[in-house]
Amino acid sequence: MIQLQSVSKKYGNGVQALDDINLVIQSGEFVYLTGASGSGKSTLMKLLYREEIPTQGQITIDQFNVNRLRRRQVPQLRRHVGVVFQDFRLLPNLTAYENVAYALEVTGDSRKKIRRRVMQVMEQVKLAHKINQYPDELSGGEQQRIAIARAIAHDPKILIADEPTGNLDPESALEIQHILEAIHDRGTTVIMGTHNDQLVDRFPHRTITLHRGQLIRDQAEGGYYEIS
């Protein structure tokens, strides 16, 4: 379970990116995070993988008290929460295989065990036949699938995707959505920041909307209710 209690974030330049957010996301949910550019979506997601820390309020993610995380617990949180970005962020001089294996090397597992896991996640994103390609030899959609493979390599309980289809054509975006749906079907909590109304309409899930740092709407899959 993810719980935010009265969470606010003000950046050093004085911008109030989030203002008193209260939110509970249960394990296994699929949640869209929507809102205009600058409404605070990325900031909210950054707080969940501790790229940023809140200026006020409490965040708990399963066993982690994110505010009071000890230094050695940060890598544990990052294995618990996988992240995918709009711009993929693959390492350009590593092959697709190496990009994913690299993420697993920190575990100290044997090469054989790492290979098995890399191939498993490559099959999940349907790219087992392109593992030896470099990122610039892959389409945007394929690069994003590699980035997803890397994000799920540690079998995280939560997957955060910050506009994962933002740079993709509609067909590739649809493929990415199908992969995220499959990851969700296996029990992973998925939180997806998006502007892609077509996907939101076609694949209905709980939808949380931010406006100028405030949570203005929390719409359940089967209907919505306004935040009072």
- Residues within the interface to ligand ADP (CB under 6 A): 11, 13, 15, 17, 35, 37-43
Whether residue 118 contacts residue 198, with contact meaning beta carbons closer than 8 Å, is answered with: no
Instruction: Closer to ligand ADP by CB, 18 or 176: give it.
Output: 18
Instruction: Closer to ligand ADP by CB, 43 or 196: give it.
Output: 43
Angle at the Cα of 223 from the Cα atoms of 176 and 17, rounded to 5 degrees: 65
C-alpha dist (Å) from residue 128 to 47, 132, 222? 33, 9, 37
CB of 25 to ligand ADP, least distance (A): 17
- The closest of 209, 176, 202, 168 to 31, measured between CA atoms, is 209
Instruction: Closer to ligand ADP by CB, 9 or 80: give it.
Output: 9
Instruction: Closer to ligand ADP by CB, 171 or 197: give it.
Output: 197
Whether residue 115 contacts residue 165, with contact meaning beta carbons closer than 8 Å, is answered with: no
Instruction: Closer to ligand ADP by CB, 37 or 63: give it.
Output: 37
CB of 87 to ligand ADP, least distance (A): 13
CB of 6 to ligand ADP, least distance (A): 18
Instruction: Closer to ligand ADP by CB, 40 or 135: give it.
Output: 40
CB of 211 to ligand ADP, least distance (A): 10
CB of 95 to ligand ADP, least distance (A): 31
CB of 161 to ligand ADP, least distance (A): 13
State how far the Cα of 21 lies from the Cα of 211, in Å rounded to an integer.
11
Exposure string for 133-168, b = 16+ CB within 10 A, e = fewer: bebeebebbbbbbbbbbbbbbbebbbbbbbbbbebb
